[in-house]
């Protein structure tokens, strides 16, 4: 009996030790998962920093809750010479010109991100900041649209601006403003601005109905103006040609604007516009391998594809299928699954490569469209058909994630091309405000040549970190030179970062789901 009690005691103690070891191993395993994931890809950090970036690009009188403290008020007399209030909006990149077309595309992409991934962005605690970023742009568009057929296209002059290297707070360059109107049309600019305001009206529909209605009113007027008085805006505003020329013309923007107005209003007139002009405007004709501030076809085709699953659109399924065919051409080209060499090129390490100057803008937009299309296929239980075979939504999203991995540091340079993320990122971003001592720290005036002599040519890192900016990125061989004068690689733009907001939010949600699944599976397995 005594021996039996001793054996039972031994087995009980052994069981306790075994359970203790099991629990310790479980804790260490879970801890390892969390720390490894955090070190490898901190998507919550990437998301919050990408949204913060837009505060660095603000023009006008900064609000009390401005978080980027090295910036201050600027451009406070914009529009004064023309008798119109054009204070506000965004500087597009590292200079101080306010270009309407890329600004509008930036707002469209921020709004689209929030429309698709509102809950994910809210769960990450970034909903309010994202809405503020959108509203900073749309508030300016409301000011710039001074009458039904007048839209102010640009403030500042790119040529004179580039003679100076100054903080925006010190600007002495021309603030000449340029507009489009009935006699000087700009269907591309008016169309993209209409799309931005229509998309933003969806964003604010639940929380600020009056503002949403106001945006929609402006969007409808701008679309009517764009459609009635047709012409390229760079033909009316000649100073923009060297910077944001409308190479694709305006037909893509007209279809794009009508699509967003249909999504915002559910009015058949806008849907019918997209259908009846599908062929003549190139919506079902152009097979495109880029999506950008200039070329909207791929984005338009992806949205039109999603209309196919709605019963009310069945009678137009033949046209919508043509839109979808072109959307899938774009997706297949990114996956390298088209024939006849019609794929997007890649660097040796696998980064999508469109062109030398600011290539990352095309990577971020492609990643966004791939993510959107992956969701569409998953939700409709369909697959992608390419010449190279059929592919499921997981494969498409997996490739999109590979591009995000590259952006955030999984590349031959071990460089995060999202500034401020990780420990190794570009230190000498081509950006006037970031490269000169903060105005809030040193209010002494810095002139044009002084900025070039004392700051532009310095070898040291920028004194201010342009957090969340996505720079132009590496060349075709994955090489990157972190120099301020290497503007093709080190300049960042608002439309580079904007598409990443939605993608980061989507991938963050999936990462959390995966961690929760692993955590729960391990807990079950331990008992």
For residues 328 and 301, the answer to whether their CB atoms sit within 8 Å is no
Report the pLDDT averaged over residues 48-72.
97
pLDDT in tens, 223-253: 999 999 999 999 999 999 999 999 999 999 9
Contacts of 220 (CB under 8 A, 6+ apart): 194, 261, 265
On the question of pLDDT at 37 being above 50, the answer is no
CA dist., res. 236 & res. 450, Å (int): 35
Q: Is the predicted pLDDT of residue 39 greater than 60, yes or no?
A: no
**Does 368 have pLDDT greater than 80?**
yes
The CA distance from 232 to 356, in Å, is: 25
The yes-or-no verdict on residue 3 having pLDDT over 80 is no
- As given in the structure block, the two tokens for residue 285 are 């004709």
pLDDT higher than 80, residue 184: yes
Encoding tokens for residue 200? 């933003």
Among the residue ranges 34-48, 112-126, 367-381, the one predicted with the least confidence is 34-48
In whole angstroms, give the CA distance from residue 80 to residue 21.
73
Measured distance CA(173)–CA(163) in Å, rounded: 9
Interhelix angle 209-228/187-203, nearest 10 degrees: 160
Host H or E run for residue 180 = strand 177-180
Q: What's the token pair of residue 344?
A: 């997007």
Q: What CA–CA distance (Å, rounded) separates 139 from 142?
A: 5
Order of all β-strands in the sheet with 151-155:
98-99, 151-155, 177-180
Average pLDDT over residues 517-522: 59
Return the structure tokens found at 346: 């890649």
Name the DSSP letter for residue 254.
H
What secondary structure letter does DSSP report for 340?
A: T
Per-residue model confidence as pLDDT tens digits over 343-366: 999 999 999 999 999 999 999 999
Q: What angle do CA 55, 151, 290 make, to 5 degrees?
A: 65
How confident is residue 101, by pLDDT bands cut at 50, 70 and 90? very high
Q: Tokens 């939605």 map to which residue?
A: 502
Average pLDDT, the chain: 91
Mean per-residue pLDDT, 33-52:
75
CA distance 497 to 493: 7
Catalytic residues: 430
Res 29 pLDDT > 90 = no
Reported pTM: 0.91
Cβ-based neighbours of 88, under 8 Å, separated by 6 or more = 58, 59, 60, 61, 75, 78, 136, 139, 140, 143
pLDDT at 519 over 80: no
What would the mean pLDDT of 331-349 be, rounded to a whole number? Answer: 93
CA angle 199, 203, 207 (to 5 degrees): 150
How does pLDDT run across 438-475, given as a tens digit for each residue? 998 899 999 999 999 999 999 999 999 999 999 999 99
How far apart are alpha carbons 504 and 524 in whole angstroms?
A: 30
Structure tokens at 239: 């100073």
DSSP track, 452-496:
IIIIIT--SPPSS--TT-BB----TTS-----TT-HHHH-B-HHH
148 near 429, Cβ under 8 Å?
Answer: no
Query: Among 83, 61, 91, which residue's Cα sits nearest to residue 73?
Result: 61
DSSP codes, 378-418: HHHT--EEETTEEE-HHHHHHHHHHHHHHHTT-STT---SB
Question: Rg of the chain over CA atoms, in angstroms?
Answer: 25
Instruction: Say if residue 130's pLDDT is above 60.
Output: yes
482, with CB counted inside 10 A (0-12, 13-18, 19+), is middle
Instruction: Return the bridge partners of 384, or none.
Output: 391
- Which pLDDT belongs to residue 20? 44
pLDDT at 460: 97
Percent of residues, the chain, with pLDDT higher than 90: 85
The answer to whether 369 and 302 are in contact (CB under 8 A) is yes
Q: Which of 53, 146, 137, 149 is nearest to 103 (CA)?
A: 137
Q: How confident is the model at residue 8 (pLDDT cuts 50, 70, 90)?
A: very low
């Amino acid at each position: 009996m005594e021996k039996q009690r001793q054996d039972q005691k031994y087995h009980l103690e052994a069981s306790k030790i075994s359970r203790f070891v099991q629990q310790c191993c479980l804790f260490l395993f879970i801890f390892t998962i969390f720390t490894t994931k955090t070190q490898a890809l901190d998507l919550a950090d990437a998301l919050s920093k990408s949204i913060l970036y837009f505060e660095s690009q603000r023009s006008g009188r900064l609000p009390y809750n401005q978080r980027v403290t090295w910036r201050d008020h600027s451009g406070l007399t914009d529009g004064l010479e023309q008798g119109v209030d054009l204070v506000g909006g965004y500087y597009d990149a590292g200079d101080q010109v306010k270009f309407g077309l890329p600004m509008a595309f930036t707002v469209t992409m921020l709004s689209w991100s929030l429309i698709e991934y509102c809950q994910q962005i809210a769960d990450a605690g970034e909903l309010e900041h994202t809405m503020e970023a959108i509203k900073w742009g749309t508030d300016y568009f409301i000011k710039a649209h001074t009458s039904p057929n007048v839209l102010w296209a640009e403030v500042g002059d790119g040529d004179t601006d580039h003679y100076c290297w100054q903080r925006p707070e010190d600007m002495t360059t021309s603030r000449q403003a340029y507009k489009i109107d009935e006699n000087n049309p700009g269907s591309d600019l008016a169309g993209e601005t209409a799309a931005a305001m229509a998309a933003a009206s969806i964003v604010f529909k639940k929380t600020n109905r009056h503002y949403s209605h106001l945006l929609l009113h402006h969007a409808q007027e701008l679309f009517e103006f764009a459609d009635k008085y047709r012409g390229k805006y760079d033909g009316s505003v000649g100073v923009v040609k060297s910077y944001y020329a409308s190479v694709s013309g305006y037909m893509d923007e007209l279809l794009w604007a009508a699509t967003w107005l249909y999504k915002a209003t559910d009015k058949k007139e806008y849907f019918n516009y997209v259908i009846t002009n599908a062929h003549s405007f190139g919506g079902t004709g152009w097979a495109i391998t880029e999506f950008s501030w200039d070329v909207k076809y791929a984005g338009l085709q992806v949205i039109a594809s999603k209309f196919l699953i709605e019963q009310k659109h069945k009678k137009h399924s033949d046209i919508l299928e043509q839109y979808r065919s072109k959307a899938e051409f774009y997706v297949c080209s990114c996956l390298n699954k088209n024939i006849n060499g019609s794929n997007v090129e890649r660097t040796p390490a696998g980064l999508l490569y469109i062109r030398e100057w600011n290539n990352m803008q095309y990577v971020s937009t492609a990643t966004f469209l791939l993510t959107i299309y992956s969701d569409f296929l998953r939700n409709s239980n369909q697959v992608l058909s390419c010449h190279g075979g059929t592919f499921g939504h997981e494969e498409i999203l997996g490739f999109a994630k590979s591009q995000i991995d590259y952006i955030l540091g999984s590349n031959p340079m071990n460089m995060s091309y999202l500034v401020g993320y990780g420990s190794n990122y570009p230190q000498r971003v081509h950006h006037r405000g970031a490269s000169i001592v903060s105005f809030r720290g040193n209010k002494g005036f810095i002139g044009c040549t002084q900025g070039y002599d004392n700051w532009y040519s310095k070898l040291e890192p920028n004194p201010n970190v342009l957090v969340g900016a996505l720079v132009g990125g590496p060349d075709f061989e994955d090489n990157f030179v972190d120099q301020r004068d290497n503007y093709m690689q080190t300049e960042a733009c608002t439309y580079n970062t904007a598409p990443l907001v939605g993608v980061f939010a989507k991938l963050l949600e999936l990462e959390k789901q995966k961690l929760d699944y692993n955590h729960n599976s391990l807990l079950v397995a331990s008992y």
